[in-house]
Structure 1
Amino acid sequence: MLRSLMGAQKCWGLIRTRNLMELATKQTPASFAMSKRHYSPPTHIKQSAAANDSGTMAEIKQEMMKRLGLEPGYNPIPKSREQLLKYQPKLEDLPPRAMQDSFTTAIIPLSTDRTLQDKYVTYLGNVRLGRLLEDMDLFAAWCCHKHLVLPNLPEGVHLPYTFVTILVDRIDFTNVLASGTQDIRLSGHVSWVGTSSIEVVVWLEQMVDGRYQKLTRALFLMAARNATNTGASPVNPIQPANEEEKVILAGGADRKKKRQILCAQSIFKVEPNDPEQTLMYELYKRTTPTHTLELNKRILPPNCRWMEDSFQMSTIPSFPEHRNHHNRVFGGFLMRSALEISWAAAYLYCKTRPKLEHISDISFEKPVSVNSFIKMTAYVVYTKENYVQIMTVADVLDTETGSQVTTNTFYYTFSSPDTVTEVLPRSYHETMWYIQGRRKFEASMSPV
């Protein structure tokens, strides 16, 4: 959990992401000439599974607990699921599934549930986007449940699986301002599988003037684990039901390769390229006085701020309330917490209310226990015109030793109504953050 498709012609354009994939060899204008403004679920899947309504998100959570054999209430010693290990299937025992088999929808009933509204609404009456990230994470796991079919599992035996979020792909937002008092619909389906990994695409739409308007979409990569979360478990392969599903599936391996390449090219693993090294020297010249021999002295140009003075921090104690079905801190809670402090950092930096434009890839490397202290630090690492790039680092603190381990790094792009003050790095490691933030910003501004 720690350190993460539109008409028939638009299906692929939604689930692909600019920084994870290119399908130049198979791409056709009719199928792929899409922009990031298009977010509707695929017509061919939607029509095939129109009756596959899963109810409300609260009902989904209850059904998942039932399938896993879990009960409401917290126990410091979780109920053992070790007896389910003997029911783990072999890959050859799992029948193929089409994408439309896992397609489903769910509702967040904000228009009728006033108590629920209080959890989702901002003081201006809009939706808290962090709450929606929590729902999308849970819904992605539900789509994994819908995909999974175990023909040899005896009746009455609980599902011998655990689903863990590995990463969340690039998330872009439309210009629809989500209301805190209107229903929101989630849609999604499994779009690719490996031996034990599952890719799920999730959309958000809201009822506006009698019809659903697109809010966002995200691509989740989930891991199927055994009943005790101690090893990988196989999942049903995909047998495409039509040409559109074949195209989507064909891109899965390509997206995986792109993820590996991007990870290997991180500024924290390899040195900056030539243009970036030139930029680093320009930053040095701008912040070093030319009329003195004090080479260790730094100067701040007019209308600029040091990066070291442009951050916000919060330490969050986690509680059982924030746990997932497996008594670890829920990945959606971490995403919400990181987004909200990032928004606060952008707001205080811009001195005006910012708009969230983009969330870069989120990876989940390690589980977090429910008794952890989580330190979230949101840095302004890059600015351009009216945009602010935030890097938020999540650290888990050891209460006994005082040590801390970084578990997640999040990147958010916000826009401001006005031109923002330029942020500048003062140290070498801040310069690396600046370069990485610049990369993330340029990726977020490029068309899908």
Structure 2
Amino acid sequence: MASTARATIRPSTVLIRCNCTPNARLRRPRREFHSSPSQRTDGVFRELTSMRVRTPWIEALRKQQAESADPHKPSGMPKMPPGRDLTPKRMRDSYHSVTIPLARDPWLLDSYLNSSGHIRLGTIFMDLDALSGVIAYKHTGDAVTTVTASCDRIIINHPLKEICDLQLSGNVTYATGRSSLEITMQVAKAPKHDEPIKNEDILINCAFTMVSLDPATRKPVPVNPLTVETPEERRLYELGERNSQVRKDLVKTALIKHTPNDEESDLIHAYWQKQLRYHDPHDELRRPDHVHYMDTTVLKTATIMQPQNRNRHHFMIFGGFLLKQTFELAFTCCSAFAHARPTFVSLDPSTFQNPVPVGSILYLTATVVYTDPPLIGAPGENSDAEIPYTRIQVRVDSKVRDVEHGHSKPTGQFNYTFVVEKNIRVMPRTYQEYMMYLDARRRAEQVGESMKKDGAGLSPKAAEESVTE
């Protein structure tokens, strides 16, 4: 009887079984299978994920169960250590940068691209929110709980014309010593050999507002104020001061509290008159094909929140995940409305109202709320209705329910602006839609003035040339 040879199988080698003699089996060529290295990431760049999630979910869950405490409710007992050091800090103390090697790592790039080969901006937004958390804790320390309160702006400044390594960087630029702080960040082509970043290589500028809370009571606590040392730091600090004042002014004049002003009331009346003409059988005017009612633009989703997308405090969802989800729904809503591929222009002032617990159900509703040029301009307002591009503002409202659907609360409002090479208009026709339209119109005017003052923003033609969405 022929002896059976013993084959050593390496981890990457598979021996194929066959109905043949042992000697023939040994002569059969081996087939080797290779797999890419495991990517321990939830969509956020690995380095930022490791900084955010430091304890496995099962350990955090077992600890919470052992303590028999509800992680979604404040304990009421202050946890802040007495005598915290609130010495003023410098801007550069919180500086942090991360380079994402998209050009050097094709498997990493694979998780950043969409079906058309463009970089998914929603994934970049996740990275930016994760980076803002790292920067915030470098300023406040780990004793507090720091959460994202709002995103004041994310603006595309220059088109990215090729796939390249990206450098994300930023620092705290505004903090008065109260509970909030503003973090300014940028995304740019990664410089070579420690060269300075050129202005034309900056893809994104953005600002996030963070709030520090007591980990137990969830009440705001003071943070270290900033000291300003250079003219550039003074400019950034004053910009943060201006953003803070704009937010306060918007709250004071919000349509939820006050009636529309005279100009806005005239605009509502003009839209109402236009609707009457569209439906009057004795009037020849009919709604044009490029005009769509606001209620026909709505898209909705419902998603259960899983622990893989938690923040560093384990039982709440990471804000960057919400940015990604809302951006991609807004992009889809805009595409369905325009029947064209939209190009992202900016994330306009948006707010995180309440935290989203792990295990809850998140409901998102996207609506096209404003188009520029508008269908009807305010009296004395000049707009070129014949330009080939239309700016489209999409509002995404989020709310959360527990699994039993016993409780519901709003968790945020996110406002995205896109541009399409198409003549298309949205038209409100209920009072609620009029309020959404006017709110979006105010935001578009405020953002437009701010971008003009700061020299920021991108032309529609230049935006189309970018390899980003």
Q: TM-score range by the shorter chain?
A: 0.7 to 0.9
| Residue 347 of structure 2 corresponds to residue 359 of structure 1 | yes
- Distance change (3 Å), C-alpha of 1:329 and 1:425: same
| Residue 308 of structure 2 corresponds to residue 315 of structure 1 | no
Equivalent position of 1:114 in the other structure: 106
- Where 1:204 maps in the other structure, the secondary structure is strand
Offset of residue 342 of structure 1? 0.4
**1:443 alignment partner, one of 439, 443, 446:** 446
Offset of residue 89 of structure 1? 4.7
Offset of residue 86 of structure 1? 6.1
Equivalent position of 1:146 in the other structure: 138
- Distance change (3 Å), C-alpha of 1:87 and 1:392: closer
**2:362 alignment partner, one of 366, 374, 377:** 374
| Residue 160 of structure 2 corresponds to residue 168 of structure 1 | no
- Where 1:170 maps in the other structure, the secondary structure is strand
Counterparts of 2:152 and 2:79, CA distance in 1: 34
Q: For each residue in 1:115-166, what CA deviation from the matched residue of structure 2 results, as whole angstroms up to 9, or x when unmatched?
A: 32222111122211111111111111111222246xxxxxxxxx32221111
Equivalent position of 1:392 in the other structure: 396
- Distance change (3 Å), C-alpha of 1:426 and 1:398: farther
Counterparts of 2:119 and 2:328, CA distance in 1: 12
**1:431 alignment partner, one of 419, 434, 440:** 434
**1:189 alignment partner, one of 171, 179, 200:** 171
Q: For each residue in 1:229-284, what CA deviation from the matched residue of structure 2 results, as whole angstroms up to 9, or x when unmatched?
A: 63333322222233433443355444323211112212222111111111111100
- Where 1:169 maps in the other structure, the secondary structure is strand
- How many residues are treated as equivalent by the alignment? 373
| Residue 252 of structure 2 corresponds to residue 264 of structure 1 | yes
Partners of 1:288 and 1:299 within 8 A in 2? no
Identity %: 28
Equivalent position of 1:88 in the other structure: 81
- Distance change (3 Å), C-alpha of 1:88 and 1:114: farther
Counterparts of 2:161 and 2:362, CA distance in 1: 29
Equivalent position of 1:136 in the other structure: 128
TM-score for the superposition, normalised by structure 2: 0.72
Equivalent position of 1:215 in the other structure: 203
Partners of 1:286 and 1:301 within 8 A in 2? no
Q: Which runs of 5+ in 2 are unaligned?
A: 1-43, 374-389, 455-469
Q: How does 1:201-350 map to 2 (within 5 A)?
A: 201-207=184-190, 213-228=201-216, 230-250=218-238, 252-289=240-277, 300-326=287-313, 327-350=315-338
Counterparts of 2:355 and 2:408, CA distance in 1: 14
- Distance change (3 Å), C-alpha of 1:404 and 1:94: closer
- Where 1:163 maps in the other structure, the secondary structure is strand
Equivalent position of 1:407 in the other structure: 411
Q: For each residue in 1:178-222, what CA deviation from the matched residue of structure 2 results, as whole angstroms up to 9, or x when unmatched?
A: 75x522111101111132222111111124999761111111111
Of 167-176 and 395-404, the range deviating more from structure 2: 395-404
Counterparts of 1:203 and 1:290, CA distance in 2: 47
Larger Rg: 2
- Where 1:406 maps in the other structure, the secondary structure is strand
Counterparts of 2:192 and 2:55, CA distance in 1: 40
- Distance change (3 Å), C-alpha of 1:406 and 1:216: same
Give 1:388's aligned amino acid: I
Give 1:101's aligned amino acid: D
Counterparts of 1:279 and 1:199, CA distance in 2: 36
Offset of residue 104 of structure 1? 2.1
- Distance change (3 Å), C-alpha of 1:99 and 1:372: same
Give 2:124's aligned amino acid: L
- Distance change (3 Å), C-alpha of 1:206 and 1:89: farther
Equivalent position of 2:376 in the other structure: none
**1:71 alignment partner, one of 9, 31, 55:** 55
Counterparts of 2:356 and 2:120, CA distance in 1: 24
- Where 1:361 maps in the other structure, the secondary structure is strand
- Where 2:46 maps in the other structure, the secondary structure is helix
Counterparts of 1:125 and 1:250, CA distance in 2: 39
Q: For each residue in 1:78-118, what CA deviation from the matched residue of structure 2 results, as whole angstroms up to 9, or x when unmatched?
A: 56799x97662535x33221112212211122223333222
